[in-house]
A and B are shown apart, each in its own frame.
Chain A
Amino acid sequence: MKDPGSVVKASSTPKKGPAGLGRLLGAVAFGLCFGFLLQKGGVAKYNVLVGQLLLQDFTVVKVMMTAVVVGMAGVLTLHHFAKVNLHIQPLRIGANLIGGLLFGAGFALLAYCPGTGAAALGQGSWDVLFGMAGLVIGSWIYAELSTRLQATVEKWGDKGKVTLPELFHLPRSFFIPGFILVLGVCLYILDLYTVR
């Protein structure tokens, strides 16, 4: 079999469709569902998001971990049969660690993250607007420094587009079902021992 990553799905909706408008309408449909689900799940709510960081309310981890388990099972199966391309992000130890820590600190200050914040705006939680202004400014600051950051921090521990099975030298056919099982057990235990 050829490298599945290079195979583009042959269907009525090619990767770069002729109709840009059709693609955008698709994005709108997906975004509507995403925002709808986030709000219904309670993860557009200030206290649910802060509550997760205070380890009082585990809704966020339950939503994320379930999405990862279900998403992984489907997306990696589709990929196995060469129906989709993966979009693996590079492992850059310095940038992932520093960026992740800064992101977390900012998340605790604002209480909404970039995606849940969008749903929170739809819900009428206007305080997220301050955060959105900050998100735009922070993005600009990164862009201003992008040349320097890409030449320094983003080179620290740059291991390329590596996946967990590659990192641990385990076969995907063994790692993926095992990992899904482990995450599933974690979710079950989490549900047993948490109030919300």
Chain B
Amino acid sequence: MKAIFTISLITLPSLSQAADLGANALDYGGGAWSPFVVGAGIGILSWLTFALAGKAIGASSFYATVAGFIGMVVAPGHTRSLKYYQDNPPRLDWGFAFVIATVLGGFLAAWSGGEIKDEWLHPMWTDRFGDSLLLRAAIGMAGGLLMAFGARLAGGCTSGHGISGTLQLSAGSWLTVIAMFIGGIATAMLLYLWL
């Protein structure tokens, strides 16, 4: 009896997974507010950053600044010799403060909406790839690495190019955001539906 129970525990989830044609993102929760309200809010926020701070919203350069800070501690001479850090010396600037505050803003929104996750693995990840934290760490780190390298090469991320650049009708931003979605859709389909 115990054996049957154990076997059914092992086989049932895998059978149901086989019956499912891959992952469905709609099985998990969505946003608390309408995407149009949130989008309009971000649009208005961009008026304010342009008008009051002379800045476009962007996030990816924050991570390059953090890497630069670490570089200045570990190997200051070498860091100063790198072209990127000659053009963009790492310092606690507007973009740095902006991204730190974005973390806090995310916390305030989640806290006020009772949506604090406090989780290392999202259910959609575990449903697809199991509960190995090591696998998540490896894939997540590889993803971050590719994203930062791509963002620096292209000149921005989904914020800097995807919102700020496109709203200024910057041709390079439109090309980049199209390439981002092509690369993203192909990789996600491969990972969640085809493999």
B41 at the interface (CB under 8 A from A): yes
A122 at the interface (CB under 8 A from B): yes
Q: Is the CB of B71 within 8 A of A89?
A: no
B9 at the interface (CB under 8 A from A): no
Q: Is the CB of B158 within 8 A of A64?
A: yes
| Interface class of chain A by DSSP | helix
Q: Is the CB of B144 within 8 A of A133?
A: yes
Q: Is the CB of A122 within 8 A of B102?
A: yes
Taking CB atoms, residues of chain B closer than 8 Å to A96 are 154-155, 172, 175-176, 179
Could you tell me which A residues sit within 8 Å of B by CB distance?
8-9, 11, 13, 15-16, 23-24, 26-48, 50-57, 59, 62-76, 78, 83-93, 95-111, 113-128, 130-144, 146-147, 149-150, 153-154, 159, 161-167, 175-176, 179, 187, 191, 195-196
CA distance A126 to B117 in the complex (A): 9
Taking CB atoms, residues of chain B closer than 8 Å to A56 are 24-26
Contact A89-B145, Cβ < 8 Å, known A74-B44, A118-B106, A124-B117:
no
- A84 CB, min distance to chain B CBs, angstroms: 4
Q: How many contacting A-B pairs (Cβ < 8 A)?
A: 571
Q: Show 15 A/B contacts (Cβ-Cβ < 8 Å), sorted by A.
A: A31-B101, A35-B105, A40-B38, A67-B46, A70-B39, A70-B40, A75-B47, A93-B175, A95-B154, A103-B176, A110-B140, A114-B59, A118-B99, A119-B102, A136-B67
Taking CB atoms, residues of chain A closer than 8 Å to B167 are 67-68, 71-72, 75-76
Taking CB atoms, residues of chain B closer than 8 Å to A91 are 170-172, 175
Which residues of B32-64 have CB atoms within 8 Å of chain A's CB atoms? 32-33, 35-60, 62-64
Contact A137-B187, Cβ < 8 Å, known A39-B115, A125-B119:
no
Size of the chain B interface, CB-CB below 8 angstroms: 137
Query: What per-residue 1/0 map shows which CB atoms of B78-101 lie under 8 Å from chain A?
Result: 010011110000001011111111
**Most chain B beta-carbon neighbours within 10 Å: one of A39, A75, A175:** A39
